[in-house]
Amino acid sequence: MSKTVIVTCHPYAGSFCHALMVAAAQGAKNSGQDVDVIDLEAEQFDPVMHSADLIGFLKHQAQDEQARDYIRRLQDAEHLILVFPIWWELMPAMMKGFIDKVIFPGETFDYTANGTGMRSRLNHLQATTIITTMNTPKALYRWAFGNAIQRALIRGTFKKMGLKHIQWLSCNMVKTSTDAKRQAWLQQATQIGARQH
Amino acid sequence: MSKTVIVTCHPYAGSFCHALMVAAAQGAKNSGQDVDVIDLEAEQFDPVMHSADLIGFLKHQAQDEQARDYIRRLQDAEHLILVFPIWWELMPAMMKGFIDKVIFPGETFDYTANGTGMRSRLNHLQATTIITTMNTPKALYRWAFGNAIQRALIRGTFKKMGLKHIQWLSCNMVKTSTDAKRQAWLQQATQIGARQH
């Protein structure tokens, strides 16, 4: 059975972000996939890189027990889906901490022989999808505020560490969006979940 | 006496980032300023926006006791200096959480009457300086990876909430830098601290 891992971090069960996560999970279940949801807030993940974690990074061995568990769960995934809100043009601290503690050498990627390149150790992963909510207009986010999800997260993290087939569903101006628009986004999230890899 | 608040989050006392923080603090002390260091890692700050914090954001009242203490300390500052490492092209979770929980409506900024603009409530603040370390080449960071410190933090957060006179000292390729280069950066950090506002 194909496995989809969904990582999310919104603390409101009533948020649109949460609804997008549920829609993606439902899509994956409907298409017969095994779905594993990592809810960082509910699981009280500690996003901080402490001294031991930094030493672990240099030794290529994750130290945080919860991060090690997430790494194991990611290693079985065919599809990784991240669902989170954008606050101050960037991901929440919780999601940044997930990146810092889980995108780890010797665990989810390796450095190539010359020491500068990276290759993924997530050997089953076929695709990664990012689903975000924000209240910034799309053009402002992309052209004025640096487009950090595309450039720092997709290009500067996931592509750099060797992942392929990365897509991003950006739900912009959520607060003022129509019901019809929200329904369309939820349907897209369901389709993303249902995709076969 | 003029007051400088320095916010930092590197867990290694032996890091170059820590040395930059010490240099900035020393510069400020040397020039007769009152220096208040907020070491987020040492003070075990919780960077996560929990449900109560999100509700507080909507009610324009910070909930986290430590964040409230930081807000009070910022309200007296003439100069705010942030010192942190850049990991995966962005600030650590700890520093993102400081932004999320301290750049708060009703506390450090207000929305303008039409509800879209913002104005600072940090009434004594004359200048803000960001000092970062990274191992990414400057051109790659700026042109490929989105330049998130300039665009999301300086433009999309600090300028948006009404701060003025914001500068950024970016120490790039620290790992392979010469001793002379490091000395020059430390001297710049000392000068930043010593600046009168």
Question: 3-state SS of A153-196?
Answer: HHHHHHHCCCCCCEEEEEECCCCCCCHHHHHHHHHHHHHHHHCC
Q: What is the pLDDT of residues B111-166, one digit of tens each?
A: 998 877 999 999 999 999 999 999 999 999 999 999 999 999 999 999 999 999 99
Q: pLDDT category, A93, cuts 50, 70, 90?
A: very high
Task: Write down the architecture of domain B3-194 according to CATH.
Answer: 3-Layer(aba) Sandwich (3.40)
Mutating which of A17, A51, A55, A96 best tests the B interface, going by the most B Cβ atoms within 10 A? A96
Q: What is the DSSP string of A84-134?
A: EE-BTTB--HHHHHHHHHHS-BTTTEEE-TTSS-EEE--TT--EEEEEEE-
**Whole-prediction pTM:** 0.97
Cβ contact (<8 Å) for B94 and A49?
yes
Q: Is A43 on the interface with B (CB under 8 A)?
A: no
Task: Give pLDDT, residue A54.
Answer: 96
Nearest to B98 by CA among B126, B67, B75: B67
Residue A103: Cβ-neighbour burial (10 angstroms; 0-12, 13-18, 19+): buried
Q: pLDDT category, A197, cuts 50, 70, 90?
A: confident
Cβ contact (<8 Å) for B93 and A47?
yes
Task: Give pLDDT, residue B187.
Answer: 98
Task: Give pLDDT, residue A115.
Answer: 74
Q: Is B184 on the interface with A (CB under 8 A)?
A: no
For residue A131, the SS3 value is: strand
Cβ contact (<8 Å) for B146 and A144?
no
Percent of chain B residues past pLDDT 70, beyond the cut: 100
Q: pLDDT category, A182, cuts 50, 70, 90?
A: very high
* Spatial CB neighbours of A20, under 8 Å, sequence gap ≥ 6: A83, A131, A133, A171, A185, A186, A189
Tokens of A158: 């996931």
Q: Which residues does chain B have within 8 Å of residue A51's beta carbon, measured at their own beta carbons? A: 11-12
Q: Is B134 on the interface with A (CB under 8 A)?
A: no
Q: Which residue of B has its CA nearest to A95?
A: B93
Rounded distance, CA A31 to CA A123, Å? Answer: 22
- If one compares A115 and B161, the residue with the highest pLDDT of the two is B161
Nearest to A56 by CA among A19, A17, A106, A98: A106
Q: What is the mean predicted confidence (pLDDT) over A112-128? A: 93
**How many C-beta atoms surround the C-beta of residue A142 within 10 A?**
17
Partners of B8 in the β-ladder: B39, B83
Cβ contact (<8 Å) for A48 and B94?
yes
Q: Is B100 on the interface with A (CB under 8 A)?
A: yes
Q: With both helix axes pointing from N to C terminus, report the angle between A93-102 and B93-102 in degrees, rounded to the nearest 10.
A: 180
Under 8 Å between Cβ of B102 and B150: no
Q: Which residue of B has its CA nearest to A44?
A: B48
ipTM confidence score:
0.96
Residue A180: pLDDT over 90: yes
Cβ contact (<8 Å) for A87 and B157?
no
